[in-house]
Structure 1
Amino acid sequence: MQKAAASFVIFALLGLGLGYLVFDVFSGKTTDTPESTAPTEQQEEASSEGDNAANSNPDSEGNKEAETVAAEGNILQTKGCLGCHSAASLDLKGGATGPDLSQAFNNVEGKHGKPLEEFLKEPTSAVMSGVISGNPLTDEEISQIAELLKQASEK
Protein backbone atom coordinates (compact mmCIF):
# COMPACT_ATOMS: atom_id res chain seq x y z
CA MET A 1 0.00 0.00 0.00
CA GLN A 2 2.82 2.42 0.85
CA LYS A 3 4.60 1.56 -2.39
CA ALA A 4 1.45 2.38 -4.40
CA ALA A 5 1.02 5.70 -2.57
CA ALA A 6 4.67 6.63 -3.14
CA SER A 7 4.37 5.75 -6.83
CA PHE A 8 1.24 7.85 -7.11
CA VAL A 9 2.93 10.88 -5.54
CA ILE A 10 6.01 10.54 -7.75
CA PHE A 11 3.97 10.21 -10.94
CA ALA A 12 1.66 13.04 -9.93
CA LEU A 13 4.63 15.37 -9.40
CA LEU A 14 6.17 14.30 -12.71
CA GLY A 15 2.86 14.85 -14.48
CA LEU A 16 2.40 18.31 -12.99
CA GLY A 17 5.98 19.25 -13.81
CA LEU A 18 5.68 18.07 -17.39
CA GLY A 19 2.30 19.74 -17.76
CA TYR A 20 3.72 23.03 -16.57
CA LEU A 21 6.68 22.71 -18.94
CA VAL A 22 4.52 21.78 -21.93
CA PHE A 23 1.99 24.57 -21.46
CA ASP A 24 4.71 27.12 -20.75
CA VAL A 25 6.53 26.13 -23.94
CA PHE A 26 3.38 25.85 -26.09
CA SER A 27 2.01 29.20 -25.00
CA GLY A 28 5.23 30.85 -26.16
CA LYS A 29 5.84 32.54 -22.82
CA THR A 30 9.42 33.31 -21.90
CA THR A 31 11.03 35.08 -18.98
CA ASP A 32 12.63 37.63 -21.33
CA THR A 33 9.39 38.95 -22.84
CA PRO A 34 10.65 42.46 -23.76
CA GLU A 35 13.70 41.06 -25.54
CA SER A 36 11.76 38.29 -27.29
CA THR A 37 9.27 40.75 -28.84
CA ALA A 38 11.93 43.17 -30.07
CA PRO A 39 13.15 40.99 -32.98
CA THR A 40 9.55 40.53 -34.14
CA GLU A 41 9.01 44.29 -34.25
CA GLN A 42 12.30 44.74 -36.10
CA GLN A 43 11.36 42.01 -38.55
CA GLU A 44 8.00 43.68 -39.18
CA GLU A 45 9.69 47.05 -39.78
CA ALA A 46 12.19 45.45 -42.15
CA SER A 47 9.35 43.65 -43.91
CA SER A 48 7.41 46.91 -44.29
CA GLU A 49 10.46 48.63 -45.76
CA GLY A 50 10.98 45.69 -48.09
CA ASP A 51 7.35 45.82 -49.22
CA ASN A 52 7.70 49.52 -50.03
CA ALA A 53 10.85 48.85 -52.04
CA ALA A 54 9.19 45.94 -53.83
CA ASN A 55 6.17 48.08 -54.73
CA SER A 56 8.38 50.77 -56.26
CA ASN A 57 10.22 48.27 -58.48
CA PRO A 58 7.99 46.26 -60.82
CA ASP A 59 10.82 43.79 -61.59
CA SER A 60 10.90 42.55 -58.00
CA GLU A 61 7.83 40.30 -58.24
CA GLY A 62 9.70 37.24 -56.88
CA ASN A 63 11.20 39.24 -54.02
CA LYS A 64 7.76 40.59 -53.11
CA GLU A 65 6.36 37.07 -52.81
CA ALA A 66 9.29 35.93 -50.63
CA GLU A 67 8.90 38.99 -48.40
CA THR A 68 5.16 38.37 -48.13
CA VAL A 69 5.82 34.82 -46.93
CA ALA A 70 8.37 36.13 -44.41
CA ALA A 71 5.95 38.79 -43.18
CA GLU A 72 3.08 36.33 -42.93
CA GLY A 73 5.40 33.89 -41.16
CA ASN A 74 5.26 36.25 -38.23
CA ILE A 75 1.76 34.98 -37.37
CA LEU A 76 3.31 31.59 -36.64
CA GLN A 77 5.93 33.30 -34.52
CA THR A 78 3.62 35.69 -32.66
CA LYS A 79 1.11 32.96 -31.81
CA GLY A 80 3.88 30.65 -30.57
CA CYS A 81 3.51 27.99 -33.27
CA LEU A 82 7.23 28.04 -34.02
CA GLY A 83 7.95 27.12 -30.42
CA CYS A 84 7.09 23.52 -31.34
CA HIS A 85 6.68 23.42 -35.12
CA SER A 86 8.71 24.43 -38.14
CA ALA A 87 7.75 24.90 -41.79
CA ALA A 88 10.72 23.82 -43.86
CA SER A 89 9.11 24.71 -47.19
CA LEU A 90 8.85 28.33 -45.99
CA ASP A 91 12.32 28.31 -44.41
CA LEU A 92 10.73 28.89 -41.00
CA LYS A 93 12.75 27.10 -38.38
CA GLY A 94 11.16 26.33 -35.06
CA GLY A 95 10.91 23.62 -32.47
CA ALA A 96 11.16 19.92 -33.15
CA THR A 97 8.46 18.86 -30.67
CA GLY A 98 5.59 19.14 -33.15
CA PRO A 99 5.48 17.98 -36.74
CA ASP A 100 6.68 20.14 -39.62
CA LEU A 101 3.78 22.24 -40.91
CA SER A 102 4.82 22.25 -44.59
CA GLN A 103 2.06 19.80 -45.56
CA ALA A 104 -0.39 20.52 -42.72
CA PHE A 105 -2.86 22.21 -45.06
CA ASN A 106 -3.21 18.93 -46.98
CA ASN A 107 -2.82 16.46 -44.10
CA VAL A 108 -4.91 17.81 -41.21
CA GLU A 109 -8.28 16.78 -42.58
CA GLY A 110 -7.19 13.19 -43.20
CA LYS A 111 -5.49 12.94 -39.83
CA HIS A 112 -8.02 14.77 -37.65
CA GLY A 113 -11.25 14.57 -39.67
CA LYS A 114 -11.62 18.35 -40.05
CA PRO A 115 -10.35 20.96 -42.49
CA LEU A 116 -7.45 23.03 -41.15
CA GLU A 117 -9.61 26.07 -40.33
CA GLU A 118 -12.02 24.01 -38.22
CA PHE A 119 -9.15 22.16 -36.55
CA LEU A 120 -7.61 25.48 -35.49
CA LYS A 121 -10.95 26.54 -33.97
CA GLU A 122 -11.55 23.24 -32.17
CA PRO A 123 -8.54 20.88 -32.27
CA THR A 124 -9.15 17.15 -31.89
CA SER A 125 -5.67 16.33 -30.56
CA ALA A 126 -5.12 16.55 -26.81
CA VAL A 127 -1.94 18.62 -27.07
CA MET A 128 -3.31 21.15 -29.54
CA SER A 129 -6.63 21.50 -27.71
CA GLY A 130 -4.69 22.46 -24.58
CA VAL A 131 -2.56 24.93 -26.52
CA ILE A 132 -5.44 26.55 -28.40
CA SER A 133 -7.66 26.80 -25.32
CA GLY A 134 -4.88 28.68 -23.52
CA ASN A 135 -4.22 30.98 -26.49
CA PRO A 136 -7.31 31.05 -28.77
CA LEU A 137 -7.02 32.24 -32.35
CA THR A 138 -9.26 34.87 -33.91
CA ASP A 139 -10.96 34.18 -37.25
CA GLU A 140 -8.48 36.56 -38.92
CA GLU A 141 -5.50 34.73 -37.41
CA ILE A 142 -6.94 31.38 -38.51
CA SER A 143 -7.32 32.72 -42.05
CA GLN A 144 -3.74 34.03 -42.06
CA ILE A 145 -2.37 30.72 -40.79
CA ALA A 146 -4.44 28.70 -43.29
CA GLU A 147 -3.28 30.86 -46.21
CA LEU A 148 0.35 30.61 -45.12
CA LEU A 149 0.12 26.83 -44.72
CA LYS A 150 -1.59 26.58 -48.10
CA GLN A 151 1.41 28.40 -49.62
CA ALA A 152 3.72 26.04 -47.75
CA SER A 153 1.98 22.98 -49.17
CA GLU A 154 2.28 24.30 -52.73
CA LYS A 155 6.08 24.59 -52.59
Structure 2
Amino acid sequence: MKNWIIIFIVSALVGFGAGYFIFQDKEEADGTNQTTTQEKESKQENVVKEESKDSNAPKTATTSDGGIFSEKGCISCHSVSALNIQGGATGPDLSKAYDNVEGKHGKPIKEFLKVPTSAVMSGVIEGNPLTDEEIEKIVEALKKAAEK
Protein backbone atom coordinates (compact mmCIF):
# COMPACT_ATOMS: atom_id res chain seq x y z
CA MET A 1 0.00 0.00 0.00
CA LYS A 2 2.83 2.36 0.88
CA ASN A 3 4.41 1.91 -2.55
CA TRP A 4 1.19 2.97 -4.29
CA ILE A 5 1.08 6.21 -2.33
CA ILE A 6 4.67 7.03 -3.24
CA ILE A 7 4.03 6.19 -6.93
CA PHE A 8 0.90 8.36 -6.89
CA ILE A 9 2.72 11.34 -5.35
CA VAL A 10 5.67 11.09 -7.74
CA SER A 11 3.32 10.74 -10.74
CA ALA A 12 1.30 13.75 -9.63
CA LEU A 13 4.43 15.88 -9.21
CA VAL A 14 5.75 14.85 -12.63
CA GLY A 15 2.35 15.54 -14.20
CA PHE A 16 2.02 18.98 -12.64
CA GLY A 17 5.61 19.86 -13.57
CA ALA A 18 5.12 18.80 -17.19
CA GLY A 19 1.82 20.67 -17.36
CA TYR A 20 3.46 23.80 -16.03
CA PHE A 21 6.16 23.77 -18.69
CA ILE A 22 3.77 22.86 -21.52
CA PHE A 23 1.25 25.57 -20.69
CA GLN A 24 3.94 28.15 -19.99
CA ASP A 25 5.30 27.62 -23.54
CA LYS A 26 1.75 27.83 -24.92
CA GLU A 27 1.21 31.17 -23.15
CA GLU A 28 4.39 32.53 -24.71
CA ALA A 29 3.28 31.38 -28.17
CA ASP A 30 -0.19 32.88 -27.68
CA GLY A 31 1.25 36.16 -26.41
CA THR A 32 -0.65 35.78 -23.13
CA ASN A 33 2.50 35.60 -21.07
CA GLN A 34 3.22 38.63 -18.91
CA THR A 35 6.26 39.58 -21.00
CA THR A 36 4.89 41.24 -24.10
CA THR A 37 6.46 41.09 -27.53
CA GLN A 38 7.35 44.78 -27.27
CA GLU A 39 9.20 44.17 -24.00
CA LYS A 40 11.14 41.29 -25.58
CA GLU A 41 12.02 43.43 -28.62
CA SER A 42 13.12 46.26 -26.34
CA LYS A 43 15.39 43.90 -24.39
CA GLN A 44 16.80 42.55 -27.65
CA GLU A 45 17.53 46.09 -28.91
CA ASN A 46 19.30 46.89 -25.63
CA VAL A 47 21.51 43.83 -26.03
CA VAL A 48 22.40 44.85 -29.60
CA LYS A 49 23.19 48.41 -28.44
CA GLU A 50 25.37 47.14 -25.58
CA GLU A 51 27.28 44.82 -27.91
CA SER A 52 27.86 47.61 -30.43
CA LYS A 53 29.40 49.84 -27.73
CA ASP A 54 32.28 47.41 -27.33
CA SER A 55 34.58 47.77 -30.34
CA ASN A 56 35.90 44.24 -29.81
CA ALA A 57 32.43 42.74 -29.71
CA PRO A 58 31.27 40.72 -32.71
CA LYS A 59 29.55 42.77 -35.36
CA THR A 60 25.78 42.71 -35.08
CA ALA A 61 23.18 43.59 -37.68
CA THR A 62 23.16 47.16 -38.88
CA THR A 63 21.00 48.86 -41.46
CA SER A 64 23.65 48.65 -44.17
CA ASP A 65 24.46 44.95 -43.73
CA GLY A 66 21.07 43.46 -42.97
CA GLY A 67 19.49 45.32 -40.06
CA ILE A 68 16.22 43.75 -41.13
CA PHE A 69 17.37 40.62 -39.29
CA SER A 70 17.45 42.45 -35.98
CA GLU A 71 14.36 44.56 -36.77
CA LYS A 72 12.24 41.44 -37.29
CA GLY A 73 13.88 39.42 -34.51
CA CYS A 74 15.53 36.86 -36.81
CA ILE A 75 18.80 37.09 -34.88
CA SER A 76 17.14 35.85 -31.73
CA CYS A 77 17.42 32.37 -33.33
CA HIS A 78 19.65 32.75 -36.42
CA SER A 79 23.11 34.05 -37.30
CA VAL A 80 24.33 35.12 -40.73
CA SER A 81 28.04 34.49 -40.40
CA ALA A 82 28.78 35.52 -44.01
CA LEU A 83 27.59 39.03 -43.08
CA ASN A 84 29.24 38.88 -39.63
CA ILE A 85 25.83 38.98 -37.97
CA GLN A 86 25.90 37.22 -34.63
CA GLY A 87 22.63 35.80 -33.39
CA GLY A 88 21.09 32.86 -31.63
CA ALA A 89 22.08 29.26 -32.15
CA THR A 90 18.57 27.80 -32.03
CA GLY A 91 18.03 28.10 -35.77
CA PRO A 92 20.52 27.40 -38.55
CA ASP A 93 23.00 29.95 -39.86
CA LEU A 94 21.32 31.73 -42.78
CA SER A 95 24.47 32.39 -44.82
CA LYS A 96 23.52 29.83 -47.49
CA ALA A 97 19.73 30.07 -47.09
CA TYR A 98 19.31 31.93 -50.39
CA ASP A 99 20.65 28.88 -52.23
CA ASN A 100 19.38 26.10 -49.93
CA VAL A 101 15.79 26.96 -48.95
CA GLU A 102 14.14 25.79 -52.17
CA GLY A 103 15.84 22.40 -52.06
CA LYS A 104 15.14 21.94 -48.37
CA HIS A 105 11.59 23.31 -48.17
CA GLY A 106 10.29 22.88 -51.73
CA LYS A 107 9.65 26.52 -52.56
CA PRO A 108 11.68 29.64 -53.40
CA ILE A 109 12.84 31.72 -50.47
CA LYS A 110 10.37 34.54 -51.16
CA GLU A 111 7.47 32.10 -51.02
CA PHE A 112 8.91 30.37 -47.96
CA LEU A 113 9.05 33.69 -46.09
CA LYS A 114 5.38 34.33 -46.96
CA VAL A 115 4.13 30.84 -46.06
CA PRO A 116 6.85 28.68 -44.45
CA THR A 117 6.69 24.90 -44.73
CA SER A 118 8.49 24.25 -41.44
CA ALA A 119 6.43 24.07 -38.25
CA VAL A 120 8.70 26.38 -36.26
CA MET A 121 8.89 29.09 -38.90
CA SER A 122 5.15 28.84 -39.57
CA GLY A 123 4.50 29.80 -35.96
CA VAL A 124 7.06 32.58 -36.03
CA ILE A 125 5.83 34.14 -39.28
CA GLU A 126 2.19 33.75 -38.24
CA GLY A 127 2.88 35.71 -35.07
CA ASN A 128 4.96 38.38 -36.83
CA PRO A 129 4.13 38.42 -40.56
CA LEU A 130 6.54 40.00 -43.02
CA THR A 131 5.51 42.68 -45.49
CA ASP A 132 6.55 42.36 -49.13
CA GLU A 133 9.12 45.12 -48.55
CA GLU A 134 10.60 43.28 -45.57
CA ILE A 135 10.75 40.05 -47.56
CA GLU A 136 12.63 41.88 -50.34
CA LYS A 137 15.14 43.26 -47.80
CA ILE A 138 15.69 39.83 -46.27
CA VAL A 139 16.08 38.13 -49.65
CA GLU A 140 18.51 40.83 -50.80
CA ALA A 141 20.61 40.41 -47.65
CA LEU A 142 20.56 36.61 -47.93
CA LYS A 143 21.59 36.82 -51.59
CA LYS A 144 24.50 39.04 -50.55
CA ALA A 145 25.45 36.50 -47.87
CA ALA A 146 25.31 33.58 -50.31
CA GLU A 147 27.64 35.38 -52.73
CA LYS A 148 30.38 35.71 -50.11
TM-score by structure 1 length?
Answer: 0.66
Structure 2 CA distance for aligned equivalents of residues 98 and 29 of structure 1: 22
Q: Tell me the alpha carbon deviations over residues 42-77 of structure 1, each in whole angstroms, 9 at most, x when there is no partner.
A: x9xxxxxxxxxxxxxxxxxxxxxxxxx851411011
Are 1:137 and 2:130 matched, yes or no? yes
Give the drift of 1:6.
Answer: 6.0
Deviations 1:95-132 (A, max 9, x none): 11110000001111111111100000001111111110
Aligned partners of 1:28 and 1:83 also within 8 Å: no
Identity of aligned residues (%): 47
Aligned to 1:17: 24
Note if contact 1:28-1:79 (Cα within 8 Å) is conserved in structure 2. Answer: no
Q: Is the 8 A contact 1:83 1:95 kept in 2?
A: yes
How many residue pairs get aligned? The number is 125
SS in 2 for 1:99: coil
Aligned residues of 1:86 and 1:92 also touching (Cα < 8 A): yes
- Greater RCO, 1 or 2 (C-alpha within 8 Å, sep 6+): 1
Q: Which residue number in structure 2 is paired with residue 108 of structure 1?
A: 101
Structure 2 residue identity aligned to 1:115: P
Structure 2 unaligned regions, length at least 5? 1-7, 53-61
Alpha carbons 2:65, 2:83 under 8 Å: kept? no
Structure 1 residue 14, shift from structure 2 partner: 1.6
Aligned mates of 2:14, 2:143 — CA distance in 1: 47
C-alpha distance in structure 1 between counterparts of 2:30 and 2:77, whole Å: 11
Name the residue aligned to 1:60: none
* Larger Rg belongs to: 2
Measured on the aligned residues, the alpha-carbon RMSD in Å equals 3.3
